[in-house]
Amino acid sequence: MAAAPKLPLVEPADVRYARSGDVAIAYQAIGEGPVDLVFIPFFGNIRWAWEQPLFARFLWRLASFSRLILLDKRGTGLSDRPRVLTLETQMDDIRAVLDAVGSERAVLLGAVQGSQLCALFAATYPERTRGLILVNPHASPADVPPAPRSGDEARESWGTRELSEELARAVYPSLASDPAFLRWHADYLRFSASPGAAAEFFRMLHDTDISDVLPTIRLPTLIVYRPDRRDAALRVAELIPDARTVQIPGQGGAWVGDEVPAEVERFLSGEKEALVPDSVLTTILFTDIVGSTERAADLGDRAWRDLLARHHAAVRRQLARFRGQELDTAGDGFFATFDGPARAIRCAQAIIAEVAELGLDLRAGLHTGECELHDGKLAGIAVSIGARVASEAAAGQVVVSNTVRDLVAGSGIEFEDLGETALKGVPGEWRLFGVRD
């Protein structure tokens, strides 16, 4: 491959802000390449990163062959610091920035925990994703790098020189004895997140499992890893259909250096515009009125129709509030979809609460999975699973699959383990969870 080009010694692009709901997201767009490339690390500060020559070179290298889009996720860097930090809301941040820069479809480059976010975005919004590149990725908490070991540990030690040096030894071992780098790195962590935000991010890191999401990705995917992250990276590659892998030299979780940009450029130069897959990752909600037959018999046809109309209006109000999409209404039940599982859970809870004021008991079930798109309609085993999960719920209860539980880390939603059960017509045993009020 040709030698890396001489990089410009100029100021990076100015920081701008996109609106993601009521949250301001800081971003930069650099370069004029033919492909939009969004880079998502664990967390950072898009302005302070440029103060480190190694980081600046890495970013300019990427911008030499793409339009590089950088952003500080909510809770980090120069972006707003709301209390709730989830992968779901961070996906909203990516969409907001893509809209702000006028990008219809981009390649996502994710490093470490950023790889989880990018993979989930690619599965959920394939129409906005042209390709996926994951650097030193992991799927489950079992493969999370060792430090900090919990959110509480991060809160206690965040911002200290001791933790900064510990992380530098793990991520940038070749720079761990460089005093100038260590001084910059300590400030980089401090400018990236507060102790409370760091605790939330590390808690989410240790609670999130995207193993069930990865097989739903149907886009060109490249996995780049260093030797000591090989096992975790290859487990991710095994789960993504047709993912390519490449090992680069060195140790630690660092993404800086010329090796990653070289592999990214090689990947992009060989990729044609990917077709939008005919499947999508979505969260499915089914609701059902408990004891509807008996209630209809007690009220009579006319009164039941009036009550049912009020029920439908209440459900639709909450679907609109939580960005749910109604797909079908069969009798007294609803079938709806969401682009995020936490929103779907909150919606189900709100529906049950509002309909209870009408004197009706509802049950609800949720599952996140891959659905096939046919003329605007959804089909596939995930739909059947969602319906079966709902049938396991009691009156006033929201029951979710294990996949949903694994994707809402950081949301504050708590669950009761209901154990494993067989779902009618669905192979295998399924672990279900009840949502606590």
Q: Is the dihedral of CA 66, 52, 160, 72 positive or negative?
A: negative
**How many Å apart are CA 93 and CA 79, to the nearest integer?**
10
Find out whether the peptide bond into 220 is cis, omega within 30 degrees of 0: no
pLDDT for 260: 94
pLDDT the model gives residue 373: 72
Beta strands in 263-355 (DSSP E): 279-289, 325-330, 333-338
Amino acid 146: pLDDT: 66
Token code pair at residue 189: 């962590």
- Report the chain (437 residues): mean pLDDT per 10 consecutive residues: 51 89 96 95 91 92 95 95 88 97 97 92 95 95 76 85 88 88 93 91 90 94 93 95 93 83 93 68 94 87 91 95 90 90 96 94 95 76 93 96 93 93 88 93
Superfamily of domain 279-435: Nucleotide cyclase, GGDEF domain (3.30.70.1230)
| 16-269: CATH, from 3.40.190.10, 3.40.50.1820, 3.40.50.1370, 3.30.70.20 | 3.40.50.1820
Using a cut of 0.85, tell me whether the model's pTM lies above it.
yes
Q: Three-state SS for 405?
A: helix
DSSP string, 149-195: -SHHHHHHHTT-HHHHHHHHHHH-GGGTT-HHHHHHHHHHHHHH--H
The partner residues of 435 in beta bridges, in order of sequence, read 415
Domain coordinates of the chain in residue numbers? Answer: 16-269, 279-435
How far is residue 367's CA from residue 369's CA, in Å, rounded to a whole number?
6
pLDDT of residue 276: 63
Distance (Å, whole) CA 169 – CA 180: 14
